Structure 1
Amino acid sequence: MNKKVVYLHGFASSSQSEKALLTSAFFARNYRHIDYAALDLPYEPIAALALIKQHIGTRRDVALIGSSLGGFLATCIAEQLACRACLINPAVAPHTVLNKHLGRYYHPVLQQHFDVTPAQINQLKQLMPAQLQQPQNYLLLLQSGDEVLDYRLALDYYQGAEIKLSEGGDHSYVGYAAQLETIANFCQLA
């Protein structure tokens, strides 16, 4: 059975985001033998994790790619499965960031409203692993110019991981396409 790779988008994003589409095209072009999927995640953290687990099933030969809040969710799953995860400007302690964004929002791609509630913030706080059990299972792609998340939090939390920090950039990760082969290699797809 082929390895499974799952892409997890960030907050208020979707499988139709630029990074998700670049990743999907890259895997379709270069790794057709890989069981690849980019999921559209629910906004409730517990529901998002349940969908990811349902999609993975009983598989253990999994690698995750997570961007921003998707990086947080990938961390939660990777800690449970002891699998590899590539994280792009991941959210660390996302409850502290999203706590400032309570309210109702509209997602133009998915064409639906969603709410950020105190209950979701509490879920995120409860879900955050206190400490990584196998930091060597993580590849972090960070840019110091991230205007949404403080990259230094990731440097501290993911100590022991393989970290590629580039100066400048932004939260979307400027030059992401050039990192896709590095991500594939870290996922051990050969």
Structure 2
Amino acid sequence: MNKKVVYLHGFASSSLSDKAVQTKAFFQQHYPHTDFSALDLPYEPAAALALIQQHIGQQRDVALIGSSLGGFLATCIAEQISCRACLINPAVAPHTVLNQHLGRYYHPVLQQHYDVTAAHMAALEQLMPVTLQQPHNYLVLLQSGDEVLDYRLALDYYQGAEIKLSEGGDHSYVGYAAQLATIANFCQLA
């Protein structure tokens, strides 16, 4: 069975985001035998985790790639099944940031409206692993110019992980495509 690699997008994003599309194209070109997918996640935290778990099923040869809130979800799953996870400007304690973004949103791929509520923030807080059990399973790509998330929170939370911090950039992770070979290598595809 081929390794399964799953890309998890961030808040108010989709499988059609620039990073998701770049990642899919890279894996199709360089690792065509990998079972790659970019999921479109529901915006209710428990439903998103349930979809990821259902997608992975019983397979344990899995690697996750998560951006922002997708990095948080990837961390939750990686802690459960002990797999590798590559995180791009991951959200740490996302309930503290997203509580400023309550309201109605539209998912462009799922073509549905959804409401982000205070109950979702409480769910995110409950889901957050207090400490990482296997920090060596993580590659964390951070840019100090992230205008949405404080990269220092990730530096602290992911202690013991392989962390690559670059100066400047922004929340989208400037120069992401140049990191795809590093990501694939960390996913142990070679």
CA distance in 2, matches of 1:103, 1:38: 25
- Matching residue of 2:10: 10
**Partner-residue secondary structure (3-state), 1:42:** coil
CA distance in 2, matches of 1:157, 1:123: 19
Which residue type is aligned with residue 158 of structure 2?
Y
Q: Is the contact made by 2:8 and 2:38 (CA closer than 8 Å) also made in structure 1?
A: yes
Hey, what's the Cα distance between the residues in 1 that align with 2:187 and 2:176?
Answer: 16
Say which SS state the counterpart of residue 179 (structure 1) adopts.
Answer: helix
Preserved CA contact (<8 Å) 2:14 2:108? no
Paired with 2:50 and 2:42, the residues of 1 have a C-alpha distance of 10
- Within a 5 Å distance, the mapping from 1:32-51 to structure 2 comes to 32-51=32-51
Distance 2:156 2:46 in 1: 25
How many angstroms apart in 2 are the aligned matches of 1:16 and 1:72? 19
Amino acid at match of 2:97: V
Q: CA deviation at 1:106?
A: 2.8
| Amino-acid identity (%) | 84
Question: Aligned ranges for residues 66-105 of structure 1 at < 5 Å?
Answer: 66-105=66-105
Superposed CA offset, 1:49-98 (max 9, x none) = 00000000001100000000000000000000110000000000000001
Unaligned runs of 5+ in 1: none
The alpha carbon displacement at 1:110 in A equals 4.3
RMSD of equivalent CA atoms: 0.9
C-alpha displacement of 1:18 = 0.3
For residues 150-185 of structure 1, give each alpha carbon's deviation from its aligned partner in whole angstroms, at most 9, with x where no partner exists.
Answer: 000000000000000000000000000000000000
Q: Deviations over 1:123-176 (max 9, x none)?
A: 000000000000000000000000000000000000000000000000000000
1:108 CA displacement: 4.2
Q: What's the secondary structure of 1:14's corresponding residue?
A: coil
- Counterpart of 1:125 in structure 2 is 125
Identify if the C-alpha distance between structure 1 residues 108 and 33 changes in structure 2 by more than 3 Å, giving closer, same or farther. Answer: closer
Instruction: Give 4+ residue runs of structure 1 displaced > 6 Å after superposition.
Output: none
**Residue of structure 2 in register with 1:166 after alignment:** 166
